[in-house]
Amino acid sequence: MGMAVTHAIASGMGGMRAAGDLVARMQISRGMKINEAKAYVAEKMKVAVSDLTDPVIMNEAREDLNLGLLHPHAGSPKCMEAKFNIAELLDIDINCVNRFRERASL
Amino acid sequence: MEKILTRYGDGTPVEMSVDDIRRDLEEGSEDAAERGRISTLAKDELDHLFDIFSSPHRFIGVEPGKEVVLSYDGSPIKMLRAQVNVDRLQCLQIYEKLLGADTLEMGHMDYSFKPIKPIVTYEQPLLEQVLSVTTAPVFYGAMPNLGLYSQPDGPFPNPSELIPQGKIEEAMQSYEAAVDDAVADIVYVSSAMYESGADAIILDTVGAAGDADFLAGLKATAILKEKYPGICIELGMAGEFVLGMHSELTWEGVRLAGLYAHEQVKLAEKAGVTIFGPVCNTNTSESTPWNMARAITFMKACCEEATIPVHVNMGMGVGGMTVNDHPPLDVASRASKAMVEICRLDGL
């Protein structure tokens, strides 16, 4: 586990603490290189690129945009619900969201 | 003379002089350049590496703004190995909520496509549950592991027994037959997991059994990409160059044996790989500065060639990391920072 923790603190984007999961989605869905992916997510969230790894700023931005929180409140979008909102905000297909929509006949 | 604390490739601490550190940085880079026929690191890059290794701090990280996306391999296995008794679903929640993971990776304890095939219908509903209780992208990973296709573990004659007997043709035919079976297994399992909603598939430790193993990874990727144009495939390598166990296998007219990371990535792109994970192996009897300079020289050449995102492998024993179950934070954090800042990576 030391390896995962070391990289997360030394070099990672912070995952859901910040916007690491969102930047990762642009690499996954569009094959974007890191700087392009960061710029794309920042523009969609209307924040600066430098804000993407700031847990304080990103917690507020994620809450405002309903993108899922590290410590979700009662009634706030979580997990699959948040992924519906992420797909819409980033204008990408998320595989499990599409399949959920199909299976739930939404 | 001032001494700098660093470590050997096996993690053992060692104090080195400034001159010794600088010499190891230069020699590590030269070793990679000579083997890969690539450029050595420039003076300013070697100076930056020296600054990183001479930092007095026990833990260091990248400059703000240079952070990269992290992807993983065998995540649940690592928690089970430490005998933390959580199911894979809880394991991935821990990675997401407590370890700052940018992506999650669900893999089976027997982390190869062949043994997963008969139980894939048990893997699918668990993945579907994981996807319903996590937010970060979920990868499903396994290895081609061509070793499982030769006797006594598989159906084909064992090339490692045939080659010493001089039965070269028979060994080559065995590898070729194994490629076909492995491709079928990779496509079967990956299709099932993608249709259950996986955000991406990881083909991990590709090339572990040599050029036939790499060929299986490339062929399976091309088939999956044609079948599911939107699929994301991360292809992570096993070693810094492709072992020529068969030696004459080609893909798209390129001989696979002996390819280094900067050449592997071009074939990965042609096959339809979305994210490429190159490897440089750690030499346990050399210092971490030597190993890091060597690894960064290889990985920088790969990043310069790549048009797709590159996530360099930096687990135990690769990417300049020490070969030890307990990575020391001093050199591990230095390695993480150095690799990201000099190679301008997309991820680790």
Quickly list DSSP for B156-207.
Answer: B--HHHHGGGT-HHHHHHHHHHHHHHHHHHHHHHHHHHHHTT-SEEEEEEET
Mean pLDDT of B250-256: 97
Q: Does A79 touch chain B (CB under 8 A)?
A: yes
Predicted confidence at residue B128, as pLDDT, reads 97
Burial (CB count within 10 angstroms: exposed 0-12, middle 13-18, buried 19+), residue B23: middle
Range of the domain at A27: 2-103
Mean pLDDT of B185-195: 98
Mean pLDDT of B169-185: 97
Q: State chain B's mean pLDDT as an integer.
A: 96
CB-side neighbour CA atoms (13 Å) of B138? 32
Predicted confidence at residue B26, as pLDDT, reads 98
Predicted confidence at residue B75, as pLDDT, reads 85
Mean pLDDT of B178-200: 98
Predicted confidence at residue B78, as pLDDT, reads 87
pTM confidence score: 0.96
Q: Where are the beta strands (DSSP E) in B207-280?
A: 233-237, 250-251, 254-255, 275-277
Please indicate whether, in this complex, the C-beta atoms of B97 and A11 are within 8 angstroms of each other.
Answer: no
How far off is chain B from A89, nearest CA to CA, in Å? 14
Q: State chain A's mean pLDDT as an integer.
A: 96
Phi and psi angles of residue B110, each rounded to the nearest 5 degrees, phi first: -90, 85
B242 within 8 A of B259, measured Cβ to Cβ: yes
Q: How crowded is residue B165: how many other Cβ atoms within 10 Å of its Cβ?
A: 9
- Which residues of chain A fall short of a pLDDT of 50? none
Total structural domains within chain B: 1
Sign of the CA dihedral with B72 first, then B78, B80, and B84 last: negative
Predicted confidence at residue B1, as pLDDT, reads 60
3-state secondary structure of B292: helix
Please indicate whether, in this complex, the C-beta atoms of B336 and A1 are within 8 angstroms of each other.
Answer: no
Q: Does residue B9 sit within a domain?
A: yes
Task: State pLDDT tens for residues B120-133.
Answer: 999 999 999 999 99
Helix (H) or strand (E) holding B125: helix B120-132
Chain B residues touching residue A31 (CB < 8 angstroms): 232, 274-275, 308-309
How many angstroms separate the CA atoms of A84 and B65, rounded? 28
B278 within 8 A of B312, measured Cβ to Cβ: yes
Mean pLDDT of B223-229: 98
How many angstroms separate the CA atoms of B167 and A53, rounded? 57
Give the chain A residue nearest B234 (alpha carbons): A28
Q: Does A14 touch chain B (CB under 8 A)?
A: yes
Q: Where are the beta strands (DSSP E) in chain B?
A: 3-7, 13-17, 104-112, 138-143, 200-206, 233-237, 250-251, 254-255, 275-277
How many angstroms separate the CA atoms of B38 and B34, rounded? 7
Q: Does residue B173 sit within a domain?
A: yes
The pLDDT > 90 percentage for chain B reads 95
Predicted confidence (pLDDT) at residue B204 exceeds the cutoff of 90 = yes
Substitution target in A1, A9, A11 with the highest count of B β-carbons within 10 Å is A11
Predicted confidence (pLDDT) at residue B178 exceeds the cutoff of 70 = yes
Please indicate whether, in this complex, the C-beta atoms of A96 and B197 are within 8 angstroms of each other.
Answer: yes
Taking chain A, what is the end-to-end CA distance rounded to the nearest angstrom? 40
Among the listed residues A2, A14, A85, the one whose alpha carbon sits nearest the alpha carbon of residue A52? A14
Mean pLDDT of B274-298: 97
Among the listed residues B313, B337, B322, the one whose alpha carbon sits nearest the alpha carbon of residue B70? B313
Kindly state the DSSP code that residue B102 receives in the 8-state scheme.
S
B95 within 8 A of B72, measured Cβ to Cβ: yes
Range of the domain at B98: 3-343
Please indicate whether, in this complex, the C-beta atoms of A3 and B315 are within 8 angstroms of each other.
Answer: yes
Helices B261-271 and B288-305 cross at an angle (nearest 10°) of 40
Predicted confidence at residue A55, as pLDDT, reads 96
Total structural domains within chain A: 1
Q: Does residue B348 sit within a domain?
A: no
The CATH code of the domain that includes B167 is 3.20.20
Phi and psi angles of residue B284, each rounded to the nearest 5 degrees, phi first: -70, -20
Please indicate whether, in this complex, the C-beta atoms of A20 and B72 are within 8 angstroms of each other.
Answer: no
How many angstroms separate the CA atoms of B63 and A74, rounded? 36
Please indicate whether, in this complex, the C-beta atoms of B102 and A28 are within 8 angstroms of each other.
Answer: no
Please indicate whether, in this complex, the C-beta atoms of A3 and B321 are within 8 angstroms of each other.
Answer: yes
Kindly state the DSSP code that residue A12 receives in the 8-state scheme.
B
